[in-house]
Amino acid sequence: MIPSLPYSISALFILTTFLCLFFLYRASGHSGAVLLICLAWLALQAAIGLSGYYTVTDTLPPRAVLMPLPALLLIVILFLTRKGRSFIDRLDPRMLTWLHIVRVPVEICLLFLFIRGHIPQLMTFEGRNFDIIAGITAPLIAYFGFSKKRLSSKLMLAWNFICLALLLNIVVHGILSVPSPFQQFAFDQPNVGILYFPFVWLPSFVVPVVLLAHLAVMRQLIAKAHF
């Protein structure tokens, strides 16, 4: 853990991570397999993060790639296999949309990490990160789009595309701000916060789940709109 960071910020992020898991669990129809796989992955990443493994930043390939890569590969497999696509199509799009509210507390945590000198300003909403917009607007899309069904599929699809772009924007800036041979930004205050527990869960779990939520809902909306 980061010694100089108040425990309240770490606690907030831990709660945010499990809120993300809660929405995914609900969206999967209370799948025990989903819950067990996610808990095992979180435990593994927590152990690696607490060991300090990710704080070694001069290796090739960078050790930090082990955080998101397995989850991203799993998402690819889900979309490329028949059983995977069947699983995706059974996910509840309303719950997947509510899931995006976790992006608000994530942004609050990132702001405090910046204030404490552990990530660059460009990774916050004071810099180039506008991801909080997705978290603020998600309840409106979930309620009026999926609960009340007052929004068209095309409008909800557009919202997902825009918010996916917001996610990719901060992911790219975050990756290129981590100390590594590939670093391009924030040399004066690099992105080191995500190399420590519990923030290793951001690239290893929260971001992939948010990505999956967008892609799954977009797939369902495209099928519904008959594009």
Burial of 76 (0-12, 13-18, 19+ CB in 10 A): exposed
- pLDDT, position 226: 64
- pLDDT, position 217: 98
Per the structure, how many domains does the chain have?
1
Asked, for residue 1, whether it belongs to a domain, the answer is no
Asked, for residue 114, whether it belongs to a domain, the answer is yes
Q: Where are the alpha helices (DSSP H) in 176-204?
A: 201
Longest distance between any two alpha carbons in the chain, whole Å: 53
Task: Give the span between the Cα atoms of 81 and 77, in whole angstroms.
Answer: 6
- Cβ pair 97, 138 in contact under 8 A: yes
- pLDDT, position 1: 83
Q: At what angle do helices 103-115 and 132-140 cross, to 10 degrees?
A: 160
- pLDDT, position 84: 98
**To which residue do tokens 């918010």 refer?**
163
Residues of the domain holding 127 = 7-225
- pLDDT, position 51: 97
Task: Give the span between the Cα atoms of 119 and 192, in whole angstroms.
Answer: 6
Q: Report the candidate in 126, 130, 125, 113 with the shortest Cα–Cα distance to residue 192.
A: 113
Asked, for residue 54, whether it belongs to a domain, the answer is yes
Please give the structure tokens belonging to residue 129.
Answer: 């990160």
- Cβ pair 107, 126 in contact under 8 A: no
Asked, for residue 140, whether it belongs to a domain, the answer is yes
Block means of pLDDT (10 residues each) for the chain, 227 residues, are 91 98 98 98 98 94 94 98 98 98 98 96 95 98 97 96 98 96 94 97 98 98 80
Asked, for residue 189, whether it belongs to a domain, the answer is yes
- Cβ pair 49, 19 in contact under 8 A: no
In the 8-state DSSP scheme, what is residue 124?
S
